[in-house]
Amino acid sequence: MTTPLAAAKFDGVASSPSTLRAFLHGLPGVDRVGADARAAMLGTRSIKTTAKKQAIDTAIAMVDLTTLEGADTPGKVRAMCAKAVRPDPTDASVPPVAAVCVYPDLVATAVEALAGSGVKVASVATSFPSGRSSLEVKTAETRLAVAAGAAEIDMVIDRGAFLAGDYLKVYEEIVATKEACGEAHLKVILETGELATYDNVRRASWLAMIAGADFIKTSTGKVSPAATLPVTLVMLEAVRDFLAVTGRKVGVKPAGGIRTTKDAIKYLVLVNETAGPDWLHPDWFRLGASSLLNDLLMQRQKMATGRYAGPDYFTLD
Amino acid sequence: MFEYAPAPESRDIVDIRPSYGLFIGGEWVDPQGEDRHKTVNPATEEVLAEVAWAGEADVDRAVQAATKAFPVWSAMPGAERAKYLFRIARIIQERSRELAVLETLDNGKPIREARDVDLPLVAAHFFYYAGWADKLAYAGFGENPRPLGVAGQVIPWNFPLLMLAWKIAPALACGNTVVLKPAETTPLTGLAFAEICRQAELPPGVVNIVTGAGETGAALVNHPGVDKVAFTGSTEVGRLIARSLAGTSKKLTLELGGKAANIVFEDAPLDQAVEGIVNGIFFNQGHVCCAGSRLLVQESVAAELLEALKRRLGTLRLGDPMDKNTDIGAINSAEQLARIRELTESGEAEGAERWSPACPIPDRGYWFPPTVFTGVAQSHRIAREEIFGPVLSVLTFRTPAEAVEKANNTPYGLSAGVWTEKGSLMLWTASKLRAGVVWSNTFNRFDPTSPFGGYKESGYGREGGRHGLEAYLAV
């Protein structure tokens, strides 16, 4: 829920298509060259020894371990849940991941498998990944996922409406989905690979936040490019500025394409030096990924033992 | 908190000799006098090496070596000269890590900048002018443009190897031979370059390097055997050189000081403008002649922009230049530090408000925290004089016309930056600014293909690009 302060700040912004458009187009522009250069510079930070150890454990605890395939089965989801709770069966000091992320029909399976573990269940909803359905279907799907026990809903925005300039439709869908979530946290997927420009990423971020998003998320993982450092930079600037204006803190989740420890650490540096260290917590930053976890485990073991173990020494799921 | 552990670059890769002679005629030679000088690491005050200070007789010897090499080098087909330049460029790339470490040790700049900015540009400059060597007939200076002869070149301490590249690459491509004097506080990469010339088997005498201070430079530029003088440094010294060369047939280019305006309009991309301001004045500790030392911000966004800027400055990492995560390194010398202190004190005395982020300063070495002055008037010394340090003066304006008027209200005219998302305003502003370089929504971006140079007291002549050839050809 938006706080009264936040609601008051943006009272009237979404009262008509023109006021909403004026607000979003009044945000400062993003210079692509400059944003790319800043993200690339932060990517050169050298995170070694104790800092690397800390970063790896932080990253593991931020992973939303994800399976979103047509071939997903209860067996596959149960196996992934076991991995989520105990990522490295040989080392109890490895923290569990933040959440697992599944399709709505597998939420119940995941909830059962994770009962009492502290690992949350997130479900995609609203006709993921395209979002091409009616609002009724989208909210109904959201309610079903929440009823099945999902603590977090990862919705997709209607990119077609956004690109057509119908911001109010996007806004209203987010508000309706937020309402359908009840107590569940709402992550709003912008699908930045389809929004294409950084100006659009900034506008979509603000649109989602004023509509009540608890998290803004880059991508479904089904579109290329998925998460990139500069796009995440623009989103981190948005949550930072939104907090300054409204007093409400919104989380960020890059998802898709983050496969290596090196990549994950670059994202943590980006968070640290953009939104600030207050965001370096699973409550405020997540990494949507599947194969990343094993690379983090491999690097963690290398830090501890000085040697790399082969991929067969880390469980698939 | 996410503390980055120290990530120091290893200095084992460089081999610094205890003492250096002069590089004349392809050989290391001892100076005739006894005058030697220690070069120190400004971050630690540790002595790195002892360097000869060349006297008049040594300079004469170097000019003679260059004169002797000129007929062979200038008669060589351009394609052959290009081979040497390409070879030098490749060796620089191969040895870039070593050269970056050496530059950081001797200069105090962060290794990240030496590695990611200086060295790639140095190599790019040699590659670029290597490409021109056999195409001079098509450069627009006539069918068969001739070189001038011996070029006497004097370079500053802020980008020692890069300034060397800016000077030597076009001179050699055009068929001149050179005698170059590095700055007295940063001679080591120039001396390493002498080794690279030997490695590339450059004919003896084509490049000669004489180390020393002002007297050595004066001996070089006033030597009758020198046909062309190129100087980068302070306006004060530039004036002396111009005076002493007046009436001679020597060709002169000067790249001098600056007090660049970085203009931020209300419709600017603010987050990138903040980065551009930081890069404009805190890059290389502000030891940049084209630094964006005057921020001109439209009043309607001034408060918002300054808040964002201060927040950003809080994340700058000042300290060991050899740490790969350091953003702000050491001030190059005690002398420069004293000048920065004196000017910032005058800023306070004249009524401007001083601000720096909380920033621990190392015990040894020469350091100055990133500093912002607000409430600065055009009449304040910190708005008029070049500080050459990490000190930003912030002024505001109301209209585009006022911005341009204030930006141009300086004896300098080296560079400027403009930040707006509106193309027509960008073009209008750029066309009104009297500055050699105008950056559009960026700052301190360099490229060998782009000419660089000043208006007014920032000097004359252009370096870089096709224009940079003109200074080294008889046209």
CATH number at residue A57: 3.20.20.70
Residue A220: the pLDDT is 97
Q: Do B270 and A28 touch (CB under 8 A)?
A: yes
Residue A316: the pLDDT is 85
Work out the angle at residue A284's Cα, subtended by the Cα atoms of residues A278 and A285, and round it to the nearest 5 degrees. 105
Residue B127: the pLDDT is 98
- Identify which of A282, A186, A279, A197 has the alpha carbon closest to the alpha carbon of residue A234: A197
pLDDT in tens, B148-166: 999 999 999 999 999 999 9
Min Cα separation B271/chain A (Å): 7
Residue A317: the pLDDT is 81
CB A181 within 8 A of CB A146: yes
Torsion of CA B322, B328, B332, B337, to 10 degrees: -140
One fold for B19-256+455-470 and B261-440: no
CA atoms within 13 A on the CB side of B475: 17
Residue A11: the pLDDT is 77
Picking from B272, B317, B327 by the largest number of A CB atoms within 10 A of its own CB, the best residue to mutate is: B272
Q: Is A317 exposed, middle or buried (0-12, 13-18, 19+ CB in 10 A)?
A: middle
Picking from B1, B3, B4, B317 by the largest number of A CB atoms within 10 A of its own CB, the best residue to mutate is: B4
| Residues with pLDDT less than 70, chain B | none
Residue A7: the pLDDT is 52
pLDDT band at A215 (very low <50, low <70, confident <90, very high): very high
Q: Cα–Cα distances in Å, from A6 out to A95, A209, A244, A248?
A: 34, 10, 11, 7
Min Cα separation B263/chain A (Å): 16
Nearest by CB to B4, from A34, A35, A45: name it.
Answer: A45
Residue B226: the pLDDT is 98
Answer yes or no: is A313 within a domain.
no
Active-site residue identified among B289, B290, B457, B470:
B289
Answer yes or no: is A99 within a domain.
yes
C-alpha B173/C-alpha B421 separation (Å) is: 40
Answer yes or no: is A197 within a domain.
yes
Backbone angles phi, psi at B289, to 5 degrees: -65, -30
Q: Is the pLDDT of residue A4 over 60?
A: no
Residue of B nearest to A245 (CA): B304
DSSP assigned state of A277: G
pLDDT in tens, B78-136: 999 999 999 999 999 999 999 999 999 999 999 999 999 999 999 999 999 999 999 99
Q: Do A45 and B325 touch (CB under 8 A)?
A: yes
Classified by CATH at the fold level, domain B261-440 comes out as Aldehyde Dehydrogenase; Chain A, domain 2 (3.40.309)
Q: Do A30 and B272 touch (CB under 8 A)?
A: yes
- Identify which of B171, B163, B86, B69 has the alpha carbon closest to the alpha carbon of residue B473: B171
For residue B124, give both structure tokens.
């790019």
What is the domain count for chain A? 1
For residue A157, give both structure tokens.
């925005």
CB pairs under 8 A between A and B: 66
Answer yes or no: is A314 within a domain.
no
Residue B68: the pLDDT is 98
Active-site residue identified among A64, A88, A154, A214:
A154
Picking from A32, A46, A54, A206 by the largest number of B CB atoms within 10 A of its own CB, the best residue to mutate is: A46
Q: Domains of chain B: which residue ranges?
A: 19-256+455-470, 261-440
Residue A6: the pLDDT is 52
Q: Domain residues for A108?
A: 4-304
Sign of the torsion angle spanned by Cα atoms B273, B277, B279, B280: positive
Backbone angles phi, psi at B167, to 5 degrees: -85, -50
C-alpha A85/C-alpha A93 separation (Å) is: 12
pLDDT in tens, A251-279: 999 999 999 999 999 999 999 999 999 99
Instruction: Give B19-256+455-470's CATH code, choosing from 3.30.465.10, 3.40.50.11540, 3.40.605.10, 2.60.120.10.
Output: 3.40.605.10
Which chain B residues are Cβ-neighbours of A28 within 8 angstroms? 267-271
Residue A245: the pLDDT is 95
Q: Do B2 and A34 touch (CB under 8 A)?
A: no
Residue A2: the pLDDT is 39
Min Cα separation A299/chain B (Å): 17
Q: What ipTM does the predicted assembly reach?
A: 0.95
C-alpha B307/C-alpha B340 separation (Å) is: 24
Answer yes or no: is A33 within a domain.
yes
- Which H/E stretch holds residue B319? none
Q: Do B275 and A272 touch (CB under 8 A)?
A: no
pLDDT in tens, A12-44: 899 999 999 999 999 999 999 999 999 999 999
Min Cα separation B2/chain A (Å): 7
Which chain B residues are Cβ-neighbours of A55 within 8 angstroms? 2
